[in-house]
Amino acid sequence: MEQIHPMPNTTESVLRFSLPEGLVANEFLREGPVAVHLLLTSGTEARLLAAFPAGNSATGLWFEPDGAALFWHGATQLQAAQSKDDQGRLLVGVTVDIGVDRARLIVSGAVLSSARVLRDYQHDRRLPPGMHNTMHMGTNSVRWSRDRIDGSAGYAMVLQVLNGSVSTDAHGQITLSTAGQMLQLRLTALTGEPALQPLPADQLLREPTAGTLRARQSLAFLSYRDKLLAGSWRFNTYFGRDTLMSLMLLMPALTRQATEAGLASVLERLDPKGAVAHEEDIGEMALLHGSGGVPVYDYKMVDDDFMLAPVARAYLLEHAGSAQHAAEWLAQKTADGESYGTALCRNFQLVQRLASDYAQRPGVDTLIHLRNGQVTGDWRDSADGLGGGVVSYNVNAILVPAALHAIAALHASGLLAPYLPDDATAAGLAQLWEEQVPAYFAVQRDTTSTQLSVRRCAQELGIDAAPALASLDEQGLAFSAIALDAQHQPIPVLHSDFGFALLLLQPPTDVIERELAAMMRPYPAGLMTGVGLVVANGAYASDALRPLFGPDRYHGAVVWSWQQALLAAGLARQLLRVDLPVSTRDLLVAAQQALWPVIQSTQAQSNSELWSWTWGDGQYRLQPFGPGAATTDEANAVQLWSTVYLAVRPPLAASTMT
């Protein structure tokens, strides 16, 4: 490999920002063809990782633990860099000088590939075949490099000891050492994957300086002409659900170009039946699937199929600017020459066909189930996110009728006339699903059993049960189950998904009062904590299920930033209604007044994917989800649907979300 050089000066603006999070220093740089997220993980499981949106590629180094926590420092001055591999092909990336409070470090692993490969390696230290690196050592440096498995330009990582040396033993163990007290290192990470084209700054936000700087920077890093990335470092590529929910919440703040880029990315990836692609595998991950490098799309999710219609309705009928522009956009073509309108209606036909099965044979059997052989299907897509459920409440009770209402509204507008005849069934199907389906998920607990459940859960987690118990009344508890199990019985886990209904539907007042009252009680009676609204509460579930919904679980008693924004946007939308009684309006306002203070108190964390908590001195304390915490996974430092506070704003003028 040739020497490493700085990137030539560019007239394009440079995006550079830092987001420290617990034991991880997150450094971001986008300059010319370089876009990179560098993670420096301190603690007892030290790691240096560089993730590139280009090809969803990444390079990572892991270090042997020595029993004591180490700490990296000084990594804020990232510099865009370029080099050429042994065949003269261009590699681009980043170089940075860093320090560490150690005189000696042992490298335990080096992985250069798709970010998906590094994600898997992080869990089990296993690699697919063909992932072997070429390694070159000097007196004070070591370089790892490899081509992609198809022989095209791949990846490289160089670690230079600026104040010491590099050595290796007979077993190939690499040691970095210095005669001083602290190693000074220069890290270079490079990829040969083709660069993505960012959305220009003037095509992203209607008000380029509104909202928090962190949110604007995060959104910019994740926004490209052909897709919006779900989150970095682990999801630096297209995810359909993330794109659609982010568009729904961000749309008031986005330019038309940004919204249309996101919608077009979804339409380009529909399958022949109209299903929305959940995730794409690109770069080396596509090669590992045997596709020859062509992107591989995953259609295993069921919720995203019902999200496209509400988002399309919101854009075409509310944010496109005019009916004429909406019609012109629908007439535009995909890369395959199909009009956007035709592609969109292919999805609408799928939605109506699936919904019609229930209308013809009402019963649990004809509800929308997870796909055969899958344990996930909606946004709670960890293995235990639905507690073993096979029929999601969110999909069936909310998203299906919301999609049908949206299709009916678009038919009524006349915009779909060139693409799909109106068979006038969507509105009737929506009403049927909305009226009948929620009853399948009904959960009721009397006062005594509710109190026992709350005390037991609080004792297991070591938290004070008094506020939760005080919030209960003599009427017992009623809420909608998170899902139905394989025997079609409700799984009694309290959850945050009613936020979807508040945003996308007009629920009856008794339903709003019942579900919102259950959610807004203090945890573990409800979902509210001092650090946010948790997305699941297993207090009312069985002994076997409760541990699956603790604060250490990816979809357990943890706070997802965008779920709070979803609820906030839903509350605001319901308060626009003129048909609500005073009692319902008062409850909505009280929920706003309880929710926004915790959103604002944790706004420094708001761009991240999720966070957890610990309990001490009688209060909740925010705990980053990932390295240094007893959690099952790690969170992204920037997440697309966590930037939505650029559009979801507090109800009061005196806002601290700036």
Residue-by-residue DSSP string for 375-433: S--SS--STTTTTT-SEEHIIIIIIHHHHHHHHHHHHHHTTTTTT----S-HHHHHHHH
Q: Are residues 424 and 486 in the same domain?
A: no
Nearest residue to 393 (alpha-carbon basis) of 368, 414, 373: 368
Residue 454 falls inside a structural domain: no
Q: Are residues 566 and 419 in the same domain?
A: no
- Provide the sign of the torsion angle of the four alpha carbons 233, 553, 280, 401, taken in this order: negative
Q: Are residues 401 and 529 in the same domain?
A: no
Q: What is 438-458 written as a DSSP string?
A: GGGGEEEE-HHHHHHHHHHHH
Q: Are residues 207 and 173 in the same domain?
A: no
Residue 223 falls inside a structural domain: no
Q: Domain range for residue 285?
A: 201-212+236-436
Q: Are residues 328 and 347 in the same domain?
A: yes
Nearest residue to 478 (alpha-carbon basis) of 509, 440, 450, 507: 450
Q: How many domains does the chain have?
A: 3
Which DSSP category does 198 fall into? Answer: B
Segment (H or E) for 479: strand 477-480
Domain boundary residue among 191, 225, 259?
Answer: 191
Residue 224: predicted pLDDT: 97
Residue 630: predicted pLDDT: 65
Partners of residue 550 on adjacent β-strands: none
Q: Give the Å distances, CA to CA, from 55 to 36, 183, 191, 407.
A: 12, 32, 9, 35
Partners of residue 157 on adjacent β-strands: 144, 189
Residue 450 falls inside a structural domain: no
pLDDT, tens only, 363-395: 999 999 999 999 999 999 999 999 999 999 999
Q: Are residues 419 and 529 in the same domain?
A: no
Residue 357 falls inside a structural domain: yes
Q: Are residues 498 and 640 in the same domain?
A: yes
CA–CA dist 648, 658 (Å, integer): 12
CA angle 476/479/480 to nearest 5° reads: 155
Residue 633: predicted pLDDT: 78
Q: Are residues 125 and 208 in the same domain?
A: no
What Rg value do the Cα atoms of the chain yield, rounded?
Answer: 25
Q: Are residues 175 and 305 in the same domain?
A: no
Expressed in percent and rounded to 5, the helix, strand and coil fractions of the chain are: 35, 25, 40
Residue 228 falls inside a structural domain: no
Neighbours of 47 (CB within 10 A): 21
Residue type, 622: L
Task: Count Cα atoms within 13 angstroms, Cβ side, for 545.
Answer: 22
Residue 292 falls inside a structural domain: yes
Q: Are residues 173 and 257 in the same domain?
A: no
Segment (H or E) for 14: none
What b-and-e string marks burial along 541-572, b requiring 16 or more CB atoms within 10 Å of the CB?
A: beeebbebbbbbbbbbbbbbbbbbbbbbbbbb
Nearest residue to 370 (alpha-carbon basis) of 235, 485, 480: 485
Residues 648 and 636 sit within 8 Å (Cβ to Cβ): no
Q: Are residues 361 and 499 in the same domain?
A: no
Residue 654: predicted pLDDT: 39
Residues 540 and 493 sit within 8 Å (Cβ to Cβ): yes
Segment (H or E) for 590: helix 582-601
Partners of residue 224 on adjacent β-strands: 198, 227
pLDDT-flagged residues of the chain (< 50) = 653-654
Q: Which residue has the tokens 């199929």?
A: 305
Residue 130: predicted pLDDT: 86
Residue 653: predicted pLDDT: 41
CA–CA dist 117, 281 (Å, integer): 11
Which DSSP category does 43 fall into? Answer: B
Q: Are residues 164 and 280 in the same domain?
A: no
Residue 447 falls inside a structural domain: no
Residues 613 and 551 sit within 8 Å (Cβ to Cβ): yes
Segment (H or E) for 167: strand 164-168
Residue 225 falls inside a structural domain: no
pLDDT, tens only, 152-172: 999 999 999 999 999 999 888
